[in-house]
Amino acid sequence: MDASGRVEWPEGRAFAFTVFDDTDLATVENVSPVYALLRDLGLRTTKSVWAIDGNGVPRIGGATGDDPAYRDWTLELQASGFEIGSHGASPVTSPREVVVRSLERFREIYGHDPEALANHSGCRESIYWGDARVGGTSRLAYNLMTGFRRRGMFRGHREGDPLFWGDLCRERVRYVRNFTYADANTLAACPVMPYYDPVRPYVRAWFASSEGADVRAFNRCLGEAEQDRLEAEGGACIMYTHFASGFWSDGVLNGRFRELIRRLAGKNGWFVPVTALLDHLAEKRGLMVLTAAQRQVLERRWLRSKISVGYS
Ligand SMILES: [Zn+2]
């Protein structure tokens, strides 16, 4: 940080930008054109994967590491500087033994453990998910908003449960994503990231993200004015999106997306994957330990976004 509290970015860059791409519905066909564009523009981001199919029929489509052509393509991405992160063990709820198998398989394929992870909302072994994302009165508010349908539903952090894998998460995963905000400057919405939350000890460090769930939300979050503000504020954007949701359709890339991402890439930004960005923040400022007051601010800010636009 400099004297004004702003983070200094490497190589004299003015701001930082990356993407965490949720792998729901993704296939080589529907996301490789998006990655070809990012690569050509010099952007390097994080693509999440499921290392294995897991048990049973996926409730949501999308390829996994069990598909050789898809696996090879993700390895090419990795070789060209993209980060491969995790979207959990598989597209379906995975008990501990399947989580272990998936972690081993991830390491076999990519040569190391997943460094950045985001829970998949359909999987009940998700860690600190559903109403466990928040505490106190925020949890009550969350449960009221969701009609108590997700109360206690997610169990990855519950010791003794067949879905428990918190100890493995703490051992092998470095960063897990929790809150998502409307602001393109993720660091302005969550100035403490990456942070350790003492009441959620199975996660070594948390990060937040900006809301760009599909191509429309992405384009809205990263419009010209928002890009210019991100740059002026010297901030950091970790866009959370699903590149399989409308970026490529009927054989063409979404025109507005192409225009916006080209414009952004023309700026003096630091365009590195999620883990590199978070490592830089942690190196400059140390890993923050969340206080009760800070937790309350983050939780309430997230709930307000959720009420207004239904953020993930
Ligand atoms: Zn998902």
pLDDT, one tens digit per residue, over 73-87 is 999 999 999 999 999
Contact 84, 77 (CB under 8 A): yes
Determine the pLDDT at residue 59.
Answer: 66
- Rounded average pLDDT over 205-227: 97
Q: How far is the CA of 23 from the centre of ligand 1 (A)?
A: 6
- Rounded average pLDDT over 212-226: 97
Q: How far is the CA of 5 from the centre of ligand 1 (A)?
A: 34
Residues for the chain: how many in total? 312
Determine the pLDDT at residue 175.
Answer: 98
Indicate whether 224 pLDDT > 80: yes
Determine the pLDDT at residue 4.
Answer: 59
Q: How far is the CA of 62 from the centre of ligand 1 (A)?
A: 10
- Rounded average pLDDT over 62-73: 96
Q: What does the block give as tokens for 311?
A: 């953020």
The chain-wide mean pLDDT, for the chain, equals 94
Indicate whether 230 pLDDT > 90: yes
Contact 47, 84 (CB under 8 A): yes
Q: What does the block give as tokens for 251?
A: 């054989």
Q: How far is the CA of 176 from the centre of ligand 1 (A)?
A: 14
- Rounded average pLDDT over 214-224: 97
Q: How far is the CA of 87 from the centre of ligand 1 (A)?
A: 7
